[in-house]
Homo-oligomer: A and B are copies of this chain.
């Protein structure tokens, strides 16, 4: 029976066009991530570098092999930092998209100006502008997923950059293979004209208000950067070299060109080791989030006395927390639970520093009855009779 089964599977394999190893591995990860395989449109961020060109080519290969029946919108942002070179890249990506039979959206941002106007450095401002552009492109064409081509090498660099800043476990987990890019997206499918296979008519328009827009990184877990270059070469497609990738004023470039090679002299498989570490830490961080959520629930107090409840700020439906329950929990859980509680109360962690969180933690340890910790932006945390209250004003 076994050999018959194998033959049958060989036959069905032979009936299909033979997939490259790269496309096969992409498809395995595609299924693992439960990415859509038919009847909708995805956005693919393409800078023109080997990573994103390989992603686009492999998606194209999977479409031609009949594994994917998706509309693809190539999205390219010219960050406005490299003048004519940036414009040439945009022209090049538009041509590549045309050859792959994909719709293409190109935009230009003045990232230098944005960085100057904000507290961001150039890399942060570029990232912010890029994800904003990818999100609005997805909204415009009714896509639920944006794909970006970060590799295992990018992950290793991210882990090292965060390590050198002293991150905890959540930060060292690095980039996620899948995350929410924007909550509660409202798609406007009807405004978009599709110009290639998988036309708008064939695509259901999702009730996107119930689908957050997701960012997926289908190369992150398995592809080395050199493999994306090799795959481009095998497909006889060139890619663009961004001069900024060689500019050693950028920390990431120095990690790539100096730090990782030195670490490879300790462990030749350093990139895989860092990727493995980050994956373990992501699992651990998400377990801690789950358990911290349970702790918050367990510590939430029913406040019956009306006078007490006004302390809670009335407009604010955040529960008061029982100090005794928090003190019983391991310190890392207590810290994370307080972080999430304050985040909910303030609508974010903006301008909140470790010192503020530590001050709130110290509120718990003290024997004294009533004390208040001021948070930036006017909110405060008050300890009174064994309970912790969040005051939004």
Option from B168, B258, B259, B330 in Cβ contact (under 8 Å) with A280: B168
Option from B168, B288, B331 in Cβ contact (under 8 Å) with A288: B288
A331 proximity list for chain B (CB < 8 A): 283, 287
Name the residue on B nearest A280 (C-beta).
Answer: B168
A281 x B166 contact (CB < 8 A)? no
Mask for A152-175, Cβ within 8 A of B = 1, else 0?
A: 000000000101111111001000
Rounded to whole angstroms, the CA-CA distance of A168 and B279 in the bound complex is 8
A262 in the interface (beta carbon within 8 A):
yes
Q: Chain A binding site: helix, strand, loop or mixed by DSSP?
A: helix
Mask for A119-162, Cβ within 8 A of B = 1, else 0?
A: 00000000000000000000000000000000000000000010
A280 x B169 contact (CB < 8 A)? yes
Option from B166, B290, B333 in Cβ contact (under 8 Å) with A276: B166
> What's the least CB distance linking A33 to chain B, in Å?
15
A284 x B277 contact (CB < 8 A)? no
Rounded to whole angstroms, the CA-CA distance of A19 and B233 in the bound complex is 68
A255 proximity list for chain B (CB < 8 A): 266
B262 x A258 contact (CB < 8 A)? yes
B164 x A332 contact (CB < 8 A)? no
> What's the least CB distance linking A88 to chain B, in Å?
32
A163 x B274 contact (CB < 8 A)? yes
A58-106 interface with B by 8 A CB criterion: none
A291 proximity list for chain B (CB < 8 A): 287, 291, 330, 333
Rounded to whole angstroms, the CA-CA distance of A169 and B262 in the bound complex is 23
A241 in the interface (beta carbon within 8 A):
no
Option from B165, B263, B270, B332 in Cβ contact (under 8 Å) with A284: B332
A349 in the interface (beta carbon within 8 A):
no
A267 in the interface (beta carbon within 8 A):
yes
Name the residue on B nearest A279 (C-beta).
Answer: B168
A201 in the interface (beta carbon within 8 A):
no
> What's the least CB distance linking A295 to chain B, in Å?
10
Name the residue on B nearest A266 (C-beta).
Answer: B164
Rounded to whole angstroms, the CA-CA distance of A169 and B335 in the bound complex is 17
A254 in the interface (beta carbon within 8 A):
yes
> What's the least CB distance linking A87 to chain B, in Å?
33
A166 x B287 contact (CB < 8 A)? no
> What's the least CB distance linking A129 to chain B, in Å?
25
Q: Show 6 A/B contacts (Cβ-Cβ < 8 Å), sorted by A.
A: A164-B263, A166-B272, A166-B274, A168-B277, A169-B284, A284-B285
Q: Other than the known A165-B267, A166-B272, A166-B274, what 17 A-B pairs have Cβ atoms closer than 8 Å?
A: A163-B163, A163-B273, A163-B274, A164-B266, A164-B270, A166-B267, A166-B277, A168-B277, A169-B169, A172-B172, A172-B277, A172-B281, A258-B262, A259-B266, A262-B262, A286-B332, A287-B333
